């Protein structure tokens, strides 16, 4: 059953207790759990970068442009890349484990019957 608009965020699942929580609510629950893990790892990442003697300031996006512009102002700016790559692997392993172990529903991981129901609508 669908609410009439488009997209997986607007799905409503029959028998969900009348709450109409649908895919959006389930994903928001999974996103909150993942966000808590992300915030925890982010603090650890900053601490390890600082502990390794690195220091960098970013003005807006903390992207490549800021990285290049602020290269001369940073302390050991080259450390950002290896530390970031290590934590990218760590994030992937932790989040993949949590999503599969606790069966967190994320876009593309809905049960088969829900996918078929939304395809009919």
Does the pTM surpass 0.85? The reply is: no
Is 80 in a helix, a strand, or coil? helix
Per domain, the residue ranges of the chain are 22-107
Q: How far is CA 118 from the centre of its chain?
A: 24
Per residue in 60-93, pLDDT tens?
777 888 889 989 999 999 998 898 899 889 889 9
* 19 has a pLDDT exceeding 60: no
Instruction: For Cα atoms 47, 52, 56, give the angle at the middle one, nearest 5 degrees.
Output: 70
| Region of residue 93 (phi > 0: left; psi between -120 and 50: alpha; otherwise: beta) | alpha
Look at residue 5 and tell me whether its pLDDT is greater than 60.
no
* Rounded percentage of the chain residues whose pLDDT exceeds 70: 67
């Amino acid at each position: 059953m669908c609410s009439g608009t488009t997209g997986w965020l607007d799905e409503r699942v029959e028998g969900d207790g009348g709450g109409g929580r649908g895919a959006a609510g389930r994903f928001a629950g999974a996103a909150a759990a993942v966000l808590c893990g992300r915030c925890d790892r982010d603090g650890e990442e900053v601490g390890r970068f600082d502990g390794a003697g690195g220091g960098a300031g970013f003005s807006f996006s903390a992207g490549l442009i800021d990285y290049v512009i602020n290269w001369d102002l940073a302390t050991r700016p080259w450390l950002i890349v290896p530390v970031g790559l290590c934590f990218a692997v760590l994030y992937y392993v932790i989040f993949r484990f949590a999503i599969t172990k606790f069966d967190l529903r994320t876009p593309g991981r809905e049960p088969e019957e829900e996918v078929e129901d939304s395809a009919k609508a």
